[in-house]
Chain A
């Protein structure tokens, strides 16, 4: 992996839905330039429908840009889809657990795709479930778990593959404030401890301030309205100033 190049690189990326040129096309992303460096934790912030999830899907290789280029670690994630096996993991807005698998079975899913031997798979999945406070729930089916527990399983599933890149699509938005805050803190700790690169989509300013060491606010159609770096040294007063700036951009 080169250090000179950004890990995730979007150059002049546009994405339209519907028939382009027929007047019915909806432009979700408009000539976006965005770079994310190795080890960075980027919070992508924007109003509902501003194209955050479309950017997310393009980075994940689930959809292709209409124009422009998307590269992750120097490769096209859509065309070289399989080459990212085990290198990228996603935490979705809802837990998306397979109902026919137990908690541990769900965590093992990504490891199965990597052909990890069964014993090692089980050990890794167990360790991640325990890390996320789900000791004793390994063999519970998703319907028997609470919303917070289910989302913990989905986080464990993402971390278990030891993917270098984590893509998170508002993973805590469906949880109550207390559970969301606790999980968020645990998530940030795990990302930092494990040296991951994370792109975190959110529509909450508070969440972006808690999570990101860089906040990109998007306008509609998706393009960068403001790009704000944060450091550990950022003071509470500075954060308040950033909050006001973001509120101003979102209100515009």
Chain B
């Protein structure tokens, strides 16, 4: 058999594998959507609205600036909260990695924070802060700060001692040590932390807006609940889901570009 003929079945197999993979992603959503649509035929719209009505509402939100600005406000709050928590958490993690005393002091506090429910932070924020934005920013930071800190700390502690020693042998300045060694070494863990916290933040922001805001997806959900508009509730929820999916896709793209140096085994897990 020639090389060319040997390659043909491989290509066919690849195509089939791709098809199976695409199907495995689409099929679960198609089944859920199908069941929902069937249910909409037998139940009133305030319980199971038709998917057409839901997507129509989705489209209305996207094309109506008054409504879409609420989506953008929520996204802005998520990103601001995550950025605040990440920067604070990274600073804490560096201090904890450098000093055992700081680690022993901050670790129990952050562990304590992890045990406080998001809703409690919402109540504390309403009592402590007057403005809506400071309240939400505070809630977002407090709920994601411990995870960011511990994830960056773990990445710093897990860096290769051999590589660190090698870079140190060239006597780098602190800035160059960070740029050439520390940041590339911990970047995979940072991106994972962002992926995990993005999901958490999108859930928390809705609760925060539901209770303490006059705009945003959470606030709009409250409005839909008051008029029993299930199609609206789903449409607003989907806006947030779309955002999380897009953000995750962007993070995955960054991973694929930034970590192209990684060896890929022909045998997967």
Contact = CB atoms under 8 A, between A and B. Distances in A.
Decide whether A and B are members of one complex.
Answer: yes
Interface of A: 60, 62, 81-82, 84-86, 88-90, 92, 94, 96, 98-102, 109-110, 112-113, 141-144, 161
A99 B168 contact: no
B171 A96 contact: no
B171 A109 contact: no
Interface string B116-135: 00000000000000000000
Contacts of B184: 98, 100
B252 interface: no
Given A143-B261, A143-B263, A110 B170 contact: yes
A98 B169 contact: no
Contacts of A94: 162
Interface in B131-178: 162-163, 165-173, 176
B262 interface: yes
B172 A90 contact: no
Interface in B181-233: 181, 184-185
A84 B167 CA distance: 14
Contacts of A88: 169
Interface residues on B, range: 20 to 34
B34 to A, nearest CB: 45
Contacts of A144: 263
Q: Which of A62, A85, A100, A110 has its CB near the most chain B CB atoms (within 10 A)?
A: A100
Contacts, number: 56
B261 A90 contact: no
Nearest to B172: A113
A85 B166 contact: no
A165 to B, nearest CB: 11
19 contacts: A60-B169, A62-B168, A81-B171, A86-B171, A90-B166, A90-B169, A94-B162, A98-B184, A99-B261, A100-B185, A101-B261, A109-B167, A109-B180, A112-B180, A113-B173, A141-B260, A141-B261, A143-B261, A143-B262
6 nearest interchain CB pairs?
A143-B263, A85-B171, A96-B166, A141-B261, A113-B170, A90-B169
Contacts of A141: 260-261, 263
Nearest to A96: B166
Contacts of A98: 163, 167, 180-181, 184
A104 B181 CA distance: 16
Contacts of A89: 169-170
A90 B262 CA distance: 25
Nearest to B165: A62
Nearest to B258: A100
A142 B171 CA distance: 23
Contacts of A101: 261
B171 to A, nearest CB: 4
Contact of A62 (B169, B185, B260, B261): B169
Contacts of A92: 162, 165-166
Contacts of A85: 170-171
B171 A82 contact: yes
Contact of B171 (A99, A100, A102, A113): A113
A227 B185 CA distance: 43
B225 to A, nearest CB: 48
A162 B118 CA distance: 57
Q: Which of B163, B180, B259 has its CB near the most chain A CB atoms (within 10 A)?
A: B180
Given A99-B261, A102-B261, 15 more contacts: A60-B169, A62-B168, A88-B169, A89-B170, A90-B166, A92-B162, A92-B166, A98-B184, A109-B167, A112-B180, A113-B170, A113-B176, A141-B260, A143-B261, A144-B263
Contacts of B163: 96, 98
A92 B160 CA distance: 14
Interface string B245-264: 00000000000000111110
A111 B172 CA distance: 10
